[in-house]
Structure 1
Amino acid sequence: MKHFRKIHWLPALALASLATPVLALGTGSVLDGAAGPVTRQVEQSAERLVERRMARQVEERVETVSESFRNPLENLPAELPVLTKQGEVAFTEVAVEDGGRAVERQWLLTGTDEEIARLDQPGITLLKRQELAGLGLNLVRFRVSPELDSRQALQAILPKLVDRLDRNHIYSPQADEPPPEPQARSPRWQSLCSSPVRVGMVDTSIATGHPSFRQARVVQSRFLDVDGAKGQLSEPRAHGTAVASLMVGDLGNDSPARLPSATLFNASVFYDRNRNLSGATLGHLLEGLNWLSEQDISVLNISLTGPDNRVLATVIRNLLDRGLVLVAAVGNQGPAAPPLYPAAYPGVVGVTAVDDSNELYRWANRGEQVMFAARGVSVPVAAPEGGRVSDSGTSLAAPVVTAALACRLREASAEQAIEALIGTARDLGEPGRDRSFGHGLLDY
C-alpha cells in the first residue's frame, strides 16, 4: 500500500521562513522599563501567535507534500497509454466513473457458454475467453464501441447479464517507490513459527536475489500477457519485495523471517505505469488469483486496493467459500475516504497500520472493514537493489497478520484462527471493535 516516509526537513524550512519575525520579538530592550510586565504579556501573546502560525505553516507544508504521496493516482492523466518493454502501446488506461481507472472500453463477464454467446452483438468484440478452474468460473474479456461503454448501455442490450459483468478495472498498491530513506529503523520482531506453511500473495514481482531471501522458498508466476504480439509489460519489484520481506525475508539483526520455513507463492500482476507508479488490470489479477487458488495455500495476502467490481466480488466470494483465508490492506486514501476493495468485501480480514506509539497511520482508511491493526509505519523492508529502506502503509501491516494467521491455520480452522487473533489483540481506541483499529493491535 502506499508508503509515506516522514519528511524531516519540513519543520526546518518553516522555521527558516519565519526566522525574521521570531528574532524581532526576541531582541532589543522591550523587557526594560516601568511597562515591563505589560510589555512581556504583549510579547508573549505575539510569540504564541507566531508559534501557532509556524505550526500551521509546517502542517500545511507536510499536508501538501504527503498528499502527493498519499494518492498519486490523482495526478495521472485521464488517458494513459501503457507501454510494453519494447515501447509498443499495450492498452490505454482511462479514468472512469466514481474516480476509478480501467482499461479503455474493456469489460469482463463470467457466465456459461450460452450466456457468453449473447455477447455476439454489434459493437462488442471478444478479446479473450478462458476457464479459471481454480475459481470455478468461465471468464471472457471484451471490448465495446464508445456508445456501449457504460453500464446503462450494456444493460439495455444484455439485461440478464449486467449483474455479472463489470469494467476491467485497474488496482494499485497505491504508492510505489517513493524516495528511499538512507537508513531503516531498528526492527523489533521475532519468528512466529517454524512450521512449513504455504502462503500466497498477489503483488508486484519479488526481487528473489535479495540477500534477505537467501534461505527463503519463493515461487512466483507472472501474469502480464498483452493482446497480440506487442511484447511484454515491464514488471516493478519494489512493493512485492517489501511485502514478501515482512513474511519470509531475514533482514538481519533482530528481524528474522516471521515464517522461516514457509513456501511463499507470489502472483506477479502489476505493470509499470509512469513516474514509478504501477497498476494491475482486473483481468491479470484474476489470472493470478486462479493460479494461487491451485497452490494449496492456507492464507492469501492482498496488499492492493481498488474500486468495487461485480466480477471481483464473485471471485472473492468463491475463494472464501473454498476455505481460503484472505487478508487485505484497507488502503491509504485517508480517514474520510470511501471503502476500498477487496478489503471491504464481507469475510475478508481488513488490516490497518499503526506506528511504534500505537498511533493510527494518518492516511489509513477507516470503516467497518477494519478487523486488525499491525505495525506498518516506518518499518524496515527489503529494497530490490539490495539493503533496506524504511516504509509506511497499510500494505506493510497486512503481511504481519497474514503470517500470524498462517501459523494458527496449521492447527485450527479459519474461524478458530481468526477468533484466536481477536483474543490476543490489544484493544486500541474506543472499547471493543471500532472503525479505526478494528479488534485492536496484533503486535508481532
Structure 2
Amino acid sequence: MKHSRKIHWLSALALASLATPVVALGTGVLDGAAGPVTRQVEQSAERLVERRMARHIEDRVETATKTLRNPLENLPSKLPVLTEQGEVAFNDVVVEDGWRAVEREWLFTGTDEEIARLDQTGITLLKRQELGGLGVNLVRFRVSPELDSREALRSILPELTDRLDRNHIYSPQTDEPPPKPQSRAPQWQSLCSSPVRVGMVDTSIATDHPAFRQARLVQSRFLKVDGAKGQLAEPRAHGTAVASLMVGDFSGDSPARLPGATLYNASVFFDRNRNLSGATLGHLLQGLNWLSEQAISVVNISLTGPDNRVLATVTGNLLDRGIVMVAAVGNQGPAAPPLYPAAYPGVVGVTAVDDSNELYRWANRGEQVMFAARGVSVPVAAPDGGLTSDSGTSLAAPVVAAALACRLLATSPEQAIEALIGTARDLGEPGRDRSFGHGLLDY
C-alpha cells in the first residue's frame, strides 16, 4: 500500500513536470491501456525526485559541516595523560588552530652542529635519537612558556625554525560513537597469498582474537615516556579492527585478504578518555622508524592531524626509500581542511564509501583523495573476540594498503599505483574528483 501511494504521488509529479508528453499519450496512460509507458514515466519521475532529494540532502549536509566535526573540541583545554600506573606522563593541550600537542614540547631534526645551537636559555633538551630508518637525527625538547610559539623560537633560532615543530598529537579515523555489535559476517576475498610484508601504525592488536589464528603478526609498542613510571595505557579496538581488514580470517565467505602476509604493527596510540585515543608525533616517528627496518613494502596509517614540518620530512624520506604510505583522509566533514599525512605529496589518500557506493558523510574531501574503498558499517574484529560494526576512512585505508602490497611484489610503487588506477571504478564526476579520487577499489 505504501509503495502504491508513492507511485501515484510520483506519477502526479511526472504529469506536472512532463505535461506535454503525457497529454499527447491520451487517456490511455491513465486507464492502464499503455501500462509500459506509464511505468517508464513513473520510474523516470521517481529517479528525478530521488536525484533532487539527494542533492537537497547533500546541500544541507555541506552547510551543516561548515562547522567542522572535530571530536577534539570535546576535550578540556588541558588534559593530563596518565601511565598505566596512574602517574601523569604529560599534559595534552590545545595549541594553534585548535590542534593538540604535548605541552611545551617541540621536535627538531638536524646535524650535530645544528642541534648544539638548541643550547639556549629557556630550552631543555629531553632526548636525542638517531632514527636511521627515517634518515634523521631527532631531538625532543621543552621550552619555557615565553618561548612556546614558532615566532618566539624564530627570534632566537632563525635558521632552524623550518625544521622544528610541536610534538603534535594525532587521532585515529573511525567514527566517534561506540561501535555496534555485529552479527553479519564480513564478505570479501583474498587478494593474493604471497608472503608480503605490510606495516601499520595504530593501537595495539588483540592478537588472541580467533580471526588472527592463522595470521603472522609482529608488533612492537612505543608508549614509554621518559621520566614517568611505566608506559601509557594502550587501547586495542582500533588496531584490532584495522588489522582484521588485512589479515583477519573470518572463515567461509571471508578469508584473509592477505593470508600469506606478515603484518608488522607499531603500537603508538594511548588512551585519552573512554572514546578517544591519541598518538604523539614522537612515538609515531619511533614506530615508523621500526617499521622502515622490517623490509616492508607499504605502511597503513589510519590517523590524521595537522601539517607538521618534522612529519613532512620523514614522510618524504620514507617515500624516497620506496615505502608506499597509505593514509586515511579523515572524518571531519566535507568542509574540513586537508589532514595529514594523507595530504602530503606522494601519500595515497583513501576515503570511505558504503555498500551503495555513497560517500561516507563525514569524509574529508580534496585533492588528497586518491581512492575510495568500503568503510561504512564494516564488520571488523573486536578486542573481546567477537565482531563489531564501525565506520570511518580508517577502515577504508587498509583495503587499499592490502591491494598495493600485492601489486608491489612485481612492480615499482609508481607502476603499482597506476595499476590500481586502471582498475578503480569511477564514481562521482567523470575522472578523478575531490570526493572519490580515481574511484572505488572494491575488494
Asked if the contact 2:174/2:394 (under 8 Å) is kept, the reply is: no
Q: Distance in 2 between matches of 1:181 and 1:311?
A: 37
Q: Distance in 1 between matches of 2:79 and 2:288?
A: 26
Q: Which residue of 2 aligns with 1:366?
A: 365
Q: Which residue of 1 aligns with 2:261?
A: 262
Task: Please list every run of at least 4 consecutive aligned residues from structure 1 whose deviation after the TM superposition is greater than 3 angstroms.
Answer: 174-178
Q: Which residue of 2 aligns with 1:156?
A: 155
Q: Which residue of 2 aligns with 1:181?
A: 180
Q: Which residue of 2 aligns with 1:289?
A: 288
1:336 aligns with 2:335: yes
Residues 112-151 of structure 1: pairs in structure 2 closer than 5 A: 112-151=111-150
Amino acid at match of 2:339: L
Asked if the contact 2:71/2:176 (under 8 Å) is kept, the reply is: no
Amino acid at match of 2:345: P
Q: Distance in 2 between matches of 1:97 and 1:180?
A: 31
Q: Distance in 1 between matches of 2:212 and 2:406?
A: 19
Q: Which residue of 2 aligns with 1:430?
A: 429
Amino acid at match of 1:101: R
Amino acid at match of 1:390: S
- Structure 1, residues 334-384: CA drift from partner, whole Å, max 9, x if none? 000000000000000000000010000000000000000000111110000
- Structure 1, residues 257-309: CA drift from partner, whole Å, max 9, x if none? 00001000000000001123100000000000000000000011000000000
1:99 aligns with 2:98: yes
1:404 aligns with 2:410: no
For residue 165 of structure 2, give the secondary structure of its aligned residue in structure 1. Answer: strand
Amino acid at match of 1:219: V
Once the two structures are TM-superposed, the CA of residue 186 in structure 1 deviates from its matched residue by 4.1
Change (3 A) 1:204 1:177: farther
Once the two structures are TM-superposed, the CA of residue 253 in structure 1 deviates from its matched residue by 2.8
Asked if the contact 2:371/2:441 (under 8 Å) is kept, the reply is: yes
Change (3 A) 1:369 1:177: closer
Asked if the contact 1:377/1:393 (under 8 Å) is kept, the reply is: yes
Q: Which residue of 2 aligns with 1:395?
A: 394
Once the two structures are TM-superposed, the CA of residue 160 in structure 1 deviates from its matched residue by 0.5
For residue 172 of structure 2, give the secondary structure of its aligned residue in structure 1. Answer: coil
Once the two structures are TM-superposed, the CA of residue 185 in structure 1 deviates from its matched residue by 3.5
Q: Distance in 2 between matches of 1:324 and 1:384?
A: 29
For residue 220 of structure 2, give the secondary structure of its aligned residue in structure 1. Answer: strand
For residue 246 of structure 1, give the secondary structure of its aligned residue in structure 2. Answer: helix
Identity, in percent, stands at 85
Residues 31-430 of structure 1: pairs in structure 2 closer than 5 A: 71-175=70-174, 178-430=177-429
Q: Distance in 1 between matches of 2:371 and 2:175?
A: 24
For residue 399 of structure 1, give the secondary structure of its aligned residue in structure 2. Answer: helix
Q: Distance in 2 between matches of 1:178 and 1:384?
A: 17
Asked if the contact 1:176/1:238 (under 8 Å) is kept, the reply is: no
Amino acid at match of 2:267: S
Unaligned runs of 5+ in 2: 1-52
Asked if the contact 1:176/1:239 (under 8 Å) is kept, the reply is: no
Asked if the contact 1:381/1:390 (under 8 Å) is kept, the reply is: yes
Amino acid at match of 1:243: V
For residue 86 of structure 1, give the secondary structure of its aligned residue in structure 2. Answer: coil
Asked if the contact 1:72/1:174 (under 8 Å) is kept, the reply is: no
Q: Distance in 2 between matches of 1:332 and 1:195?
A: 33
For residue 181 of structure 2, give the secondary structure of its aligned residue in structure 1. Answer: coil
Residue range with higher mean Cα deviation, 169-178 or 421-430: 169-178
Amino acid at match of 2:245: L
Change (3 A) 1:233 1:277: same
Once the two structures are TM-superposed, the CA of residue 176 in structure 1 deviates from its matched residue by 7.0
Once the two structures are TM-superposed, the CA of residue 72 in structure 1 deviates from its matched residue by 2.0
Q: TM-score, normalised by structure 2?
A: 0.84
Asked if the contact 2:186/2:380 (under 8 Å) is kept, the reply is: no
Q: Distance in 2 between matches of 1:172 and 1:192?
A: 29
Once the two structures are TM-superposed, the CA of residue 181 in structure 1 deviates from its matched residue by 1.8
Q: Distance in 2 between matches of 1:171 and 1:268?
A: 13
- Structure 1, residues 175-234: CA drift from partner, whole Å, max 9, x if none? 577433232434221000000000000000000000000000000000011121422110
Asked if the contact 2:132/2:289 (under 8 Å) is kept, the reply is: yes
Q: Distance in 1 between matches of 2:221 and 2:139?
A: 20
- Structure 1, residues 26-82: CA drift from partner, whole Å, max 9, x if none? xxxxxxxxxxxxxxxxxxxxxxxxxx9xx99xx99xx89xx99x5321100000000
Amino acid at match of 1:315: V
Q: Distance in 1 between matches of 2:315 and 2:371?
A: 19
- Structure 1, residues 81-131: CA drift from partner, whole Å, max 9, x if none? 000111110000100111210000000000001000001010000001010
Asked if the contact 1:71/1:175 (under 8 Å) is kept, the reply is: no
Q: Distance in 1 between matches of 2:87 and 2:289?
A: 28
Asked if the contact 1:71/1:333 (under 8 Å) is kept, the reply is: yes
Unaligned runs of 5+ in 1: 1-51
Q: TM-score, normalised by structure 1?
A: 0.84
Q: Distance in 2 between matches of 1:412 and 1:180?
A: 38
Once the two structures are TM-superposed, the CA of residue 251 in structure 1 deviates from its matched residue by 1.9
Once the two structures are TM-superposed, the CA of residue 141 in structure 1 deviates from its matched residue by 0.2
